[in-house]
Amino acid sequence: MKSLKGFTAREANKALHRQGAFWETESYDHWVRDDAELDRIVTYVLNNPVKAGFVRHWQDWPHSYWNKM
């Protein structure tokens, strides 16, 4: 996880023309207990670019795994 976070932080900072910490200090994981929770998590992930102000609608984000299906 450390190497993945390091690589993605450097790339994201380059793309955003910024420096410094990018990720929170700890990762968060837990079991997905049912379909409703999975739907909530997928919705959360798909809407991250919207929350960050990169796009107005999650469907507009070209790097979404959803667009690859």
Q: Is the dihedral of CA 11, 54, 68, 65 positive or negative?
A: positive
Taking a C-beta distance cutoff of 8 angstroms, is the pair 41, 50 a contact? no
Residue (of 33, 10, 34, 31) closest to 22 by Cα position: 10
Q: pTM of the predicted model, to two decimals?
A: 0.57
| pLDDT tens, residue by residue, 10-68 | 999 999 999 998 887 776 777 899 999 999 999 999 999 999 999 999 999 998 877 66
Q: Which residue in the block uniquely carries the two structure tokens 């929350």?
A: 51
Taking a C-beta distance cutoff of 8 angstroms, is the pair 45, 32 a contact? no
